[in-house]
Amino acid sequence: MDFGLVLQTDPPASTVVGLMRRAERNGFRYGWTFDSAVLWQEPFVIHSRILEHTSRLTVGPMVTNPSTRTWEVTASTFATLNDMYGNRTVCGIGRGDSAMRVAGRPPNTLARLGEAVDAIRDLAEGREASVGGEPIRLPWVKEGKLPVWIAAYGPKALALTGRRGDGFILQLADPFLTEWMIKAVRTAAAEAGRDPDSVKICVAAPAYVGDDLGHAREQCRWFGGMVGNHVADLVARYGTHSDMVPEALTAYVEQRQGYDYAHHGRAGNPDTAFVPDEIVDRFCLLGPPEAHIERLRALRDLGVDQFAVYAMHDAREEVIDAYGSTVIPALS
């Protein structure tokens, strides 16, 4: 199993770079950042510094979207980083939640997302693609490689991921939901004539190492609010008691009142009071290292290739080091 670190690009950028360097020293192989231009600093500028100051880390956004940048700009950015540092980037992409909504625009349609996935990959790897109905190619790209991993929850997005994604990003660490969603992705891949096992599976969730579960839950409760915000559209479409979406994912969202993006992805988010302890425990990894190892072994047995640690809490360095000394060696 591979491991990744996920950070917001809060200033100063030097702190983000330093934490990514620390992660690489501890055996992490992926460095991910949020991508929401209004809420945080521009990630691709910081990605360049991360790549410059690491030697093995694969770097990318978790996640970008098809609208805040045009597709040829996104592809050219990845291709430039790859040309400078070797093929060490990965494109995590989704419909766009915080990046779009905070600017007063709705998330992208799945149709647009699917078209963008193909176009960005083709352009970044030197092939021609259609952008806005016009054929475009980046003539300077040589031997570029860009895997595109899609973030998804709902049945249609999971099917799209199976048909077109190089990887699947699932933002929660509940084994029951993970198994259900991996099955949906791999079924869609097989139906599209692809090798289901060729789609990499990345589970991303907060991890907090320590014996004080009460404190750990409060530091990670924001994640239940973030997931609830992501699946609110699914609840609006399918309800909380539907055969299309597991109730284990949607039922707790019934108590959700609203969401202020000023606190998005941050410990102490006041809009997450509706998130019960049960959801925090199911969606996140909390407790001593042995508890993390047990959950991660279960996820690995379900087919998870990477666990990406959300480190938006008060123990970032401690968790990185604990994973490096205990957890990663047990799962590698």
Predicted confidence (pLDDT) per residue in 41-96, tens digit = 999 999 999 999 999 999 999 999 999 999 999 999 999 999 999 999 999 999 98
Structure tokens at 89: 């980037």
Alpha helices in the chain (DSSP H): 13-25, 43-52, 71-85, 98-101, 110-124, 155-164, 175-191, 213-238, 247-250, 277-283, 289-301, 316-322, 328-331
State pLDDT tens for residues 239-264. Answer: 776 777 888 888 887 777 677 777 88
pLDDT at position 107, please? 85
Per DSSP, 66 falls in state S
Tell me how far CA of residue 109 lies from CA of 88, 113, 114, 202, 264, in angstroms.
29, 6, 9, 23, 22
Per DSSP, 326 falls in state I
* Separation CA 97–CA 234 (nearest Å): 13
Tell me how far CA of residue 10 lies from CA of 28, 126, 282, 299, in angstroms.
21, 33, 27, 30
**Would you place residue 10 in the very low, low, confident or very high pLDDT band (cuts 50, 70, 90)?**
very high
Q: Does the N-terminal peptide bond of residue 12 adopt cis geometry, omega within 30 degrees of 0?
A: yes
State pLDDT tens for residues 127-170. Answer: 999 999 999 999 999 999 999 999 999 999 999 999 999 999 99
Overall average pLDDT of the 280-293 stretch? 98
* Separation CA 306–CA 299 (nearest Å): 9
